[in-house]
Structure 1
Amino acid sequence: MIVDVFADGPPPLLLLPTAAPLTDAERSERALARLVQRLRLRLTVARGSVPLDRAFGLDPDLIDAPVSTALPRLRVAVAQALRPEPQCRLLSVDAAPSSSRPGLIALRVRVAVDPATLSG
C-alpha cells in the first residue's frame, strides 16, 4: 500500500473509540490514519522542541537555507525523521515551490506501508 503523507485534504482526525465493535477494515483504516498522523507530526515539528526527545522532528536550520542546498539535505532529514516508524518504508521525497504559498516549498512524501504491520 502506498501512502502520500501530505496528500491534499485535512489532516486525519483523532479517532475516538466507539461502543460498537469495529470491523477489520475499520481497524485497519484507523491504524493507517494514526500512522499518517504520526508521520506528519514527525515532519512538521522542529528538532529540539520536544523536551524529552530532542532528536524528534526536522532540523530547523533547513528553513533559512538556500533552496539549492536545502533540498538534498531535506531529503536526508526526512529519511532520518521517519526511521523510527517501522510500519513504513520511505519511497520518495519530492519538493517543489508551493503553488498556493509563494516562497515556500511543498513536500510530497510517499511511503510504502505493509498492511500486516498495522495493528488496530
Structure 2
Amino acid sequence: MIYDVLAQPVQGIDFAPASEVAEILQNLRTIITTTKYSVPLDRDFGFDAEMLDKPMNTAQVQLQSEIIMAIKTYEPRVTVTGITITGTDSGVLIPKVQVMINDDE
C-alpha cells in the first residue's frame, strides 16, 4: 500500500500511536518538516534547507534529494516511491512524499 505524506507542520506529537503505520507516517511528517541544525541534540536530523534561496527548479531537485536521504537515514522502514513538490506564488515549496512501508521479513 502506498501512503501520501504532505509536508505540513505537526500539530502535536502522539507518543502512543494507534499502530505502527501511524507511527511511521508521523515520523515521516516530522522528517520532511524539520530542517537540519534545528534539533539541538541531533543537528543532522531533517533536510538541509540551503537550496531554498536558489531558483525554483534547482531548489526542487535538491529538496527531493535531501528528503530521500533524510528518510533513508531516519525512517528505514519505508521506501520512497515518489515525491511531488508544489510551489506557491510566494515561493514556498510544499513537498508530498509517497512511500511504501517495507515488510519485516
Return the TM-score normalized by structure 2: 0.79
Gaps of 5+ in 1: 18-26
Conservation of the 8 A alpha-carbon contact between 2:84 and 2:96: yes
- How many residue pairs align between the two structures? 102
Q: What CA distance in whole angstroms lies between the structure 2 residues aligned with 1:11 and 1:3?
A: 19
| Paired residue secondary structure (1:81) | helix
2: CA distance, partners of 1:7 / 1:66: 20
1:42-98 Cα offsets, whole Å, 9 max, x none, are 111110111221111111212222212101111110111101212100111111224
Aligned to 2:79: 89
CA distance 1:7–1:69, change in 2 (3 Å): closer
Residue of structure 1 aligned with 2:27, choices 11, 29, 38: 38
- Rg bigger for which structure? 1
- Structure-2 separation of matches of 1:4 and 1:11: 17
Equivalences for residues 22-33 of structure 1 within 5 A: 30-33=19-22
**RMSD of the alignment, in Å?**
2.6
Match for 2:94 among 92, 106, 109?
106
Q: Return the offset for 1:102.
A: 4.3
Match of 2:41 in 1: 52
Gaps of 5+ in 2: none
Deviation, structure 1 residue 104: 1.8
SS in 1 for 2:84: strand
4+ residue runs over 4 A deviation: 10-13
1:66-77 to structure 2, matched below 5 A, reads 66-77=55-66
